[in-house]
Amino acid sequence: MAEKLSLKLLIDKTGKRLLFAEAGKDFIDLLFSFLALPLGSVIRLLANKSPVDVSISSLYESVENLSETHIRSGLDKISLLDHVTPSLSSCSSRSQPPPLLLYSDTDTKTEATTKWYYYTCGNHGNHYYDSGRQEYVSDVKGTACPSCGRAMEIRAEYVAPTTSGGDGKGERSREERGFVRGVVTYMVMDDLEVTPMSTISSIALLTKFNVRDVGALEEKVVKVGVEEVLSLLKASLQSKTALTDVFLK
């Protein structure tokens, strides 16, 4: 499993409430990746943790159980059940997958957790087909090419932007991966509202929550792994007190 992340919580012991959390780039990237998750992937991930008793789960199972004979030629059920969006792939590198849910080493359901591939029809470079023709790629193997109709099965590996002058060699720096810059600490509210942290914002928040006894405040550092992230994902869809639900109950 990927290394666990650290999260610092500020708790009001008197009011028995979580005021906010201090987090670095890695945790914020992870939270923001929730927004890039296709709904099918959310259902699969949460179902692995505990049954998700909502109608969308039945819809997911319907697709999962549907015979391939009922699927249109050139399409794949994986595009609905466990599709990875370009926004996730573009924030990662070959050596470091996106922060999405800290996949375990044994999770082999999708090769997209380690590498990103696109597929072409194989006619690229064919002068007969190239003449006046638009090129197409797909992230779902077997998709029919809109231009020539052939199955797009020739794999092309995704190459992330690099810091080595654009020569295709070397990896992007840690600062360039993910969604946010790592030069500041971020404040995460109980409802997962994220803002850059500052002394002024912290004082304003204490005033907002009417905290009169600073001595009643407690800092608590928690580790965030697969279990906690899945719980956060689920809580984010059900509650306005996601951090409290996961770390204080």
Tens digits of per-residue pLDDT, 167-181? 544 444 544 577 888
Region for 104 from its dihedrals, namely left if φ exceeds 0, alpha if ψ lies in -120 to 50, beta otherwise: beta
pLDDT for 117 equals: 73
* Amino acid making up residue 26: D
Tens digits of per-residue pLDDT, 140-156? 888 888 888 888 888 88
pLDDT for 38 equals: 81
pLDDT for 246 equals: 94
**In terms of Cα–Cα distance, which of 79, 83, 86, 67 is closest to 144?**
79
Q: Which two tokens stand for residue 72?
A: 């249109």
* Amino acid making up residue 131: S
pLDDT for 106 equals: 37
- pTM value? 0.64
DSSP states of 133-200: -----BSSTTEEPTTT--EE-EEEE-----SSTTSS-S---GGGSSSS-SSS-EEEETT--EEE--HH
DSSP state of 85: -
Q: Which residues of the chain have pLDDT under 70?
A: 1-2, 51-52, 54, 73-76, 79, 82-116, 124-133, 160-176
pLDDT for 103 equals: 44
pLDDT for 116 equals: 63
Which residues, in sequence order, are bridge partners of residue 18? 11
pLDDT for 75 equals: 65
pLDDT for 14 equals: 81
DSSP state of 179: S
